[in-house]
Structure 1
């Protein structure tokens, strides 16, 4: 009955995605002064999850995707393209700060979804 609760799998995948995005942002910030550095960013989580397919199912883009066995290296980041700045690289610290705040927001949302689903599950199985 409770073996396949996709809300927990989806919220865990959202949290993992936000954590990986934050790691890439920190790499970009660390290399902001490196000439020729090309920044990387995670594709949006919505690109990995498509609700227009069969209701309740997630779209797997590769083997092991979103089922707990995906590692940080499997979710391939994409290179950032755009105009080079004065440091001759593609990093804008202002843009990276905004991305960091967005990643934190996504991580907080994933944890809130997980906690809410857990509360509903506890309520459903309680014997009060």
Structure 2
């Protein structure tokens, strides 16, 4: 029932994107001293969500196959972050990763706020508030 409400679906997708981005930031921080490691990040949420809306879904070739969800974190493309490279070939900057971690926290809080607002609207419409 709640999957058909666009605002709740978008908040859920934003939360999943934030989770996947947090994993990439943590992976970058973990490999800060690994020689030759290149920093990665995800495409911005707006781009991945728009691509999913434009028809980026998987094609089902057999009736017994399950349809892909309208948006999934698998739709977010991992991109290499451009930046200065240290002498050992590592491109991870801990300062930039800390800034990304703060952006991830802000995005997570935003998705929770949107989801809570949607639930408050549903409760109000049902007269339970």
Q: TM-score, normalised by structure 2?
A: 0.80
Larger mean CA deviation between 24-33 and 57-66 belongs to: 57-66
The 1:122/1:30 distance shift into structure 2, 3 A limit, reads same
Q: Is the Cα–Cα contact under 8 Å of residues 57 and 70 in structure 2 kept in the other structure?
A: no
Q: TM-score, normalised by structure 1?
A: 0.80
Q: Report the secondary structure of 1:36's partner residue.
A: coil
Deviation at 1:66, TM superposition (A): 4.1
Larger mean CA deviation between 38-47 and 73-82 belongs to: 73-82
Larger mean CA deviation between 26-35 and 77-86 belongs to: 77-86
Deviation at 1:34, TM superposition (A): 0.5
Q: Show structure 1 runs of 5+ residues with no match.
A: 51-56
Asked if residue 90 in structure 1 is aligned to residue 91 in structure 2, the reply is yes
Structure having the higher helix fraction is 2
Q: Show structure 2 runs of 5+ residues with no match.
A: 59-67
